[in-house]
Amino acid sequence: MGRNGVCSNYDFNTVDFTWQAIRSLRQGTAIFTMPATPIKCAGAPQKIMYLAEDHFRRTGVRDAIRVVYASATPAIFGVAKYRKALEKVVADRGMQTCFRHSLIEVRGDTREAIFTQLDTKQEVVMKFDLLHVTPPMSAPDFIRESPLADKDGWVEVDKYNLQHPRFPNIFALGDASSLPTSRTGAAIRKEAPVLVENLLAHRAGQPLKAKYNGYSSCPLVTGYGKLILAEFDYDGNPAETFPFDQSKERYSMWLLKRWALPVLYWKGMLKGRA
């Protein structure tokens, strides 16, 4: 990390080098990875790719740079409506995708990224000039190694009422839970009221009536001043807030992300007001 073009936005000590690497690249191959584990905001590995690609265009070097998205997932996005929109973005801008590719090794001195192709189990070697790494993620060890964890290491909970199936006095939400939805602030904002209502009902010996439907949101920044606001539930159904097609790139949604959502997060969500 921090040399040979290897960068990552996922650590305070390495994030500055990401911008340095993008800004200094004039030609070659830029690879952006997505791991084979659930991660915080599954759209984030794409966002840095779109912003980097846009920067390459603005500085006149895009034609000399091959942009590759190497992801362990089977598609660009899990919800059909937004997947189709993002596939069009990728195609229109000449980016390449390699799905079911899980990064297992980086050889910095030779600038080689080593992947496992998850369907064939074959090793794939890709040369790079810039490599943005999204690391695999897990719950903290004290959870992953505890009786609370499911087979994958997350706090095991019912996906609707957020209660542990084996320890009824335990409830969980957010990044370390087993909830099969995107790990985003928007998801937690909808999970928290359900958890509170059901926790209080359990303490009072009453039925758990509150239900979480899997709502999550991913503001997908697709370039400077462009954003697709994906909102969806457990079944992959769009659960959109605004009265227009949110699968289209919009400047208005970028403004929402840039100015409104930070205020909602810092002043509202973290203080329990929203």
Cα gap 30→113, rounded to integer Å: 11
Q: Residue ranges per domain, the chain? A: 6-137+215-268
pLDDT given at position 272? 84
pLDDT given at position 170? 98
Average pLDDT along the chain, 274 residues, taken 10 residues at a time = 96 95 98 95 95 98 98 97 98 98 98 98 98 97 97 98 98 97 94 97 98 97 98 97 98 97 93 84
Least Cα distance to 171 among 181, 180, 161 occurs for 161
pLDDT given at position 127? 98
CATH code 3.50.50.60 for 6-137+215-268: yes
Catalytic position from the list 49, 218, 227, 261? 218
Q: Are 249 and 88 in contact (CB under 8 A)?
A: no
pLDDT given at position 259? 97
DSSP 156: P
pLDDT given at position 273? 84
Half-sphere exposure for 188 (CA within 13 Å, toward CB): 16
Query: Quick check: is 7 catalytic?
Result: no
Edge-to-edge strands, sheet with 65-71: 6-7, 130-132, 28-34, 65-71, 96-99
Q: Are 59 and 87 in contact (CB under 8 A)?
A: no
Residues 6+ positions from 270 with CB-CB distance below 8 Å: none
Catalytic position from the list 41, 173, 220, 227? 41
Q: H or E element: which one contains 19?
A: helix 15-24
Query: Quick check: is 218 catalytic?
Result: yes
